[in-house]
Amino acid sequence: MRKLSLIITLLLVSLSTFAKVDEIRVYKSSRRMLLMEEGNIVKEYRIRLSFKHNNPFFQMGPKRLRGDNKTPEGIYKVKRKVTENWSNFKKSLLINYPNKEDIQWGKENGYSVKELGDAIQIHGTPKRINPALKKFALEYLGWMITDEAELEELMQKYIYPMVDWTNGCMALNDDEMDEVFKLVEEGIPVKIYRANPSIIERLMNIGPAL
């Protein structure tokens, strides 16, 4: 009986480890990211979004313009798996924002592709604190920080795990990002929703309602 239990446990671990992830789903309101395989949840993660969400007057919505600190909404894909040589993160997944729908919105509203922004990623914690986040941390927590080392320690222990802190990207911790990087291949769809799935949809393990 023990042998059978061990075999079942190993099989379950193997299914998770060697799963062929064919879709990423992000639910912004609940800060959830799911790795999917043929409609089934393989892994679930808690994500962090823009630091502007710490302002109660900041409204969640689709990314429209460079610098609006919002996360896109719609259907995208993993454009490239990125290493630290390209960005401020050890590993990240670059998505194809702006997509055709975003570019069309820009044309209809008089904005160039450049004005829409770019470099939206799923990533871990940064190698260097970005200036906007540093300014935000010092504004609200400066009274307890005396130097850069203390600021970095504060960010790692309290800010990155507990509050939204990106410029509009979707953030995990570094261990989670390592895992996602292994499971995800370039080209798979990334579906980003503002709303959360209903209880029925969660039980049925199917797509969300917008």
Handedness of CA 135, 170, 168, 201 (dihedral sign): negative
Report, as ranges of residue numbers, the positions in the chain whose pLDDT lies below 50. 6, 8-10, 15, 207-210
Domain coordinates in residue numbering, the chain: 46-194
- Give the closest residue to 184 by CA, choosing from 11, 26, 12, 7: 26
Task: Give 91's Cβ-side CA count (13 Å radius).
Answer: 14
> pLDDT at position 209, please?
40
Mind listing the pLDDT tens digit for each residue in 163-191?
Answer: 999 999 999 999 999 999 999 999 999 99
> pLDDT at position 210, please?
38
Q: Is 46-194 assigned to CATH 2.40.440?
A: yes
> pLDDT at position 110, please?
98
Mind listing the pLDDT tens digit for each residue in 54-64?
Answer: 899 999 999 99
> pLDDT at position 82, please?
94
> pLDDT at position 28, please?
97
- Please answer whether residues 180 and 170 qualify as being in contact, where contact means their C-beta atoms are separated by less than 8 angstroms: no
Largest Cα–Cα distance of the chain, in whole Å?
Answer: 68
What is the DSSP secondary-structure string of 95-113?
Answer: E--S-HHHHHHHHHTT--H
> pLDDT at position 149, please?
79
Joined together, the tokens standing for residue 151 give: 């600021």
- Give the closest residue to 132 by CA, choosing from 162, 168, 157, 98: 168
